[in-house]
Structure 1
Amino acid sequence: MSTGAVDGFVEPGRGGGLLDVVRQRYLLRLVVRKDLRVRYRGSVLGMLWSYVKPAVQFVVFYFAVGVFLRMNEAIDNFAVYLFAGIVVVNFFGEAFGNATRAIVGNSALVKKIYLPRELFSVSALWVAAVHFFPQLVVLVVGALIFGWRPSLAQLAAGVLGFAILTVFSLGLGLLFGAVNVLFRDAENLVDLLLMVATWASPVLYSWTAVTEVVGTGTIWTIYQLNPLTPVVELFHWCFWAPTAGVEYVMPPDLWQWVGIAAVTSTLVLVLGELVFRRLDGRFAQEL
C-alpha cells in the first residue's frame, strides 16, 4: 500500500508542507478570517485594539524608561527609537505566541478533517501582520513628525529586517506549535522567552549601553546571536536614524550579524518545518 496519496487522501506529514499552504491560499484566507472573527467576537473596539495595546505599552515604557530613568535625555527622539523597537517585539511576540497555540487552539478542526496543518501556524503569522501594519503606520507618522527623511538603503534595511523577523517567527512557531501538542509546557516556555526577548534586544536602551558594561567579547557575541537584536537595529536605522538631530552610530559589524540572523532564521524555519511534519501524524490522536 502506498504511504502517499490514496483515493485523493493524503497521509498527515506526507504532503507538501508549507508549499501546500501556498497552493491552498483560499483555505488560508478562510482560516485568517475565522481567527480574526473569533478574536474580536463580542468586542466593542474590534481592530482598534491594534492601536490601543501598543499605545498603552509605549506610554508605560516611555515614562518608566524614558522619563523616570531619563533615557530620553541620552537618546535623541527617544519616542521614535522606542516605538521602532516595540513594533518588532510586538510582531514577534504575537506571531510566535499565537503560532505555538495554533494547533491546540484549532483542535476541533484538526481532529475532524485533514488539511495542511501549517495553515494554522501561517494564519497566526498573518493575523500578527494584520496587527503589525497599523502600528507601522503610526511609527511612520511619528517619524515624519520628527523629520524622517530615509534613504533607499534605510528603507531596504527595514524591509530586510521584517523579512528576517517573519521567517524567524514562523520557524519558532512551527517548532513550538508541534511540540506544544505533546507537551503543553511549551506555552509557558514561550511566555518566558517573550518576556526575555523584550529585554534581550536594544528596545528600551541603546547598544552602546551593552558594550559599556560587557565590552565586545563573548557576552556581546551571544547578545548579537539573538536574531531580534540586529533586526531591531535595522528598524532603528530605517525609522529612527533618519529623523532630525540624530547622530546614529552603527553597532560593530552590524551587517555581519544581520547575515548571521538571516541564516539562523532560515535554519530555524527548516528545523521547525521538519519537526512539525515529523509530529503531524500524531496531532489528532494527541489532541
Structure 2
Amino acid sequence: MKSKLIQYAFVLLALTMGCACTDLDETLYSSVATKNFYNTKSDIERAVARPFEHAFATIKERQVLQELTADQLITPTRDGWWDDGGRWRRYHYHTWNAEDGTDILYLWNGQYQGIGQCNYVIEDLESLDPAKFGLTESDFNDYKAQCRTLRAMFYLTLLDAFRNCPLVVSFNDKTENTDYQVAPKELFTFIENELKDCVNKLARKESLGTQALVQGKWTQAGAAALLVRLYLNAEVYIGEERYDDCARLCQNILDGVYGPYEVSDRWDAAFDWDNNTCDEVIFGYPASSGYSYWHYSGDVYWYAVP
C-alpha cells in the first residue's frame, strides 16, 4: 500500500512539473482587442471610420447650444407641445441654468470621447505595418491625417464653446496629456498646427463632379475650411486678429488651390437627397434613411436640418 502511495505521489509530481512547463497563454475568441482586431484592410477602415460616426452623433448638442442661443433659430411651443419645462425659451433668452446642463455636458463629453477615439486609432496605426494589409505608408499617413483633422475639429468645437479645456493627445501615454485646462492660446495653436500640417497630407479633390468619391473624408479643402473658422474667430478666442489669414485661405479655396469646388445654382442643392454629388459641399457625413442611425433615428436631422 505504501509503495502505491509513493508511486501515485510521483505521478502527481510529474504531472505538476509537466504543467509548469506548458504555455498557459490563452488565445481569446470571445473578445476583440487591438492585438487581434486588425487582420484585413477592412478592419483598418472600420477603425478609422469609428470616430467619424461618433462625430456625426455630436452634431445635435452643438446645434442646440450654438444656434438656439443665437438669432437664426427658435424652437416655439406647438399647441402645448415642445415647451419641455421652458428649456428652449431659456436658451433663446440667455437665461439657462443648472437644469439645462444636460446638453452642455453632452457637448463636452461628446467631443472628448471623439478625441479619445481619434487618439486610439492614430496610435494603433503608428504601431502597425501597412504592407500587412496591402496598404502603403502613404495610405496610413492619409488615415492618420483624417483622424488628426477630425480631432482638431473636436477641439475647435470645445474652444468655441468652453474656451479653457484640457489638452489630450494620447490614449496610451497619459503623461502627454494635461490634467488641467490649458490657456485658449495653447489650444488655438495646437489646432492651427495640426490643420496646417494635415492640409499637406490629405488628398486633394481633383475635378468637379467627383464629390461622391471624397464624401465623408477630410480633404485639403476640408482642413483649410476648418482653419478659416479658426482664424475668423481668433479675435474672440485669443484676442488676436487673423482676418488676413482667414481671407487668404478663403480665396485659395475659391481659386481651387485645394481642389475644385463651386457654388451650386440652387440654394438647396447642398441639402438635397443627392448632395453627395454637389460640388458646393466641402465635407459632409454620409447618411441615408434606414442605413445610418444618427440621420433620422438619432434625431440629428430633426434637430438640425429643419
Question: TM > 0.5 between the two?
Answer: no
User: Which has a greater percent of helix?
Assistant: 1
The TM-score, its normalising length taken from structure 2, stands at: 0.29
Which of structures 1 and 2 has the bigger CA Rg? Answer: 2
TM-score between the two structures when normalised by the length of structure 1: 0.31
